[in-house]
Structure 1
Amino acid sequence: MPKETLKYTNDEVTVVWKPKLCIHSTICWKGLIEVFNPKERPWIKMDGANSEKIIEQVRKCPSGALSYFLNAEAPADNNTADKVVAESANMLTVEVTPNGPYLIKTECLIVHSDGREETKTGTVALCRCGSSANKPYCDGRHRKIGFEG
């Protein structure tokens, strides 16, 4: 079973990876293979680029599986997994990705069918294809089944 949260750090920045949120868009490694290489272990190599390039690439993650914090600004309780750098906290954006999930960008409340409530911050990827094993969240299976829409 994969860990809930993994952290990779250099002197300036820490990248937080939440595998369960990953929709396997490939944006991270196609944009910066020197840092994000799924064929290597560990797959994130913080010495592969400077901190600015790493931050720029992490911000492109469509699912919110990758986030970061500056080490100098780390919260005192060190609960860094909950800190996500959001582009705009005041505006809700819902993006329908071609042949992929709905991307909701902001803070939102998810109410599950069993009544559980969960607040998500940053980007949330919701399944559109119906095949995710992690509903209501996308797990990337739309690519495996050839979903179009």
Structure 2
Amino acid sequence: MTEGTAETGAEPPLAEKPRLKEYDGEGITVTFEPRRCLHAAECVHGLPEVFDLSRRPWVLPDGATPERVAEVIRRCPSGALQYRPAPGGAAEAPDVPTTVRRSPSGRLVVRGDLLVAGGAGVRRETRVELCGCGASGNQPYCDHSGPCAQPDEDADDVAEERR
């Protein structure tokens, strides 16, 4: 076994930071990783005063309280949206226990304290949608390249359960 495996007990090194767009607010910074976005629209439906695709910049973190912005970001199933609170604010806590669910179209929806290994190395995550068909060009994340990216009929039901 190699360094960073169960044999050594050490965590593998974390990957380089992905390309992110950052939107700074007074109480929270919102980050967006476009390659991860699967257009679930939890953000624009949940908080249109903050997330509005018709304006630039499309994210205005100060359009609502930092707590409300964080709440809506946690609904983002792909993890494309994340946040950093201002000093002293509460960071996102991973779901306990970790859950794995296969969507009807085949994506793996995973929430918890995660280390995800991909082409750029290992990343710590709390929310991901992983490719279930092998066609993604952003492995292991789903990127709408293959059949597992089809819309799920139960997406609204799952979003309602998270609220």
TM exceeding 0.5: yes
CA distance in 1, matches of 2:84, 2:151: 34
**Does residue 120 of the first structure (1) align with residue 124 of the second (2)?**
yes
Counterpart secondary structure, 1:57: helix
Aligned match for 2:80, one of 46, 65, 68: 65
Superposition deviation, residue 106 in structure 1: 2.2
Q: Paired residue for 2:9?
A: none
Structure 1 segments of 4+ aligned residues over 6 angstroms from their partners: none
- Of 54-63 and 136-145, the range deviating more from structure 2: 136-145
Aligned partner letter, 2:125: T
Give the gaps of 5 or more residues in structure 2. Answer: 1-17, 154-163
Aligned match for 2:142, one of 130, 138, 142: 138
Whose radius of gyration is greater, 1 or 2? 2
CA distance in 2, matches of 1:26, 1:19: 13
How many residue pairs were aligned? 135
**Per-residue CA shift, 1:78-134, capped at 9, x if unaligned?**
xxxxxx62333x53211223436211212334445x8x7413321121112444332
Q: Paired residue for 2:157?
A: none
Aligned match for 2:92, one of 64, 85, 90: 85
Once the two structures are aligned, what percentage of the paired residues are identical?
Answer: 33
Aligned match for 2:32, one of 7, 17, 23: 17
Aligned-CA RMSD value: 3.0
Aligned partner letter, 2:86: N
Q: Paired residue for 2:100?
A: 94
Counterpart secondary structure, 1:72: coil
Give the gaps of 5 or more residues in structure 1. Answer: 75-83
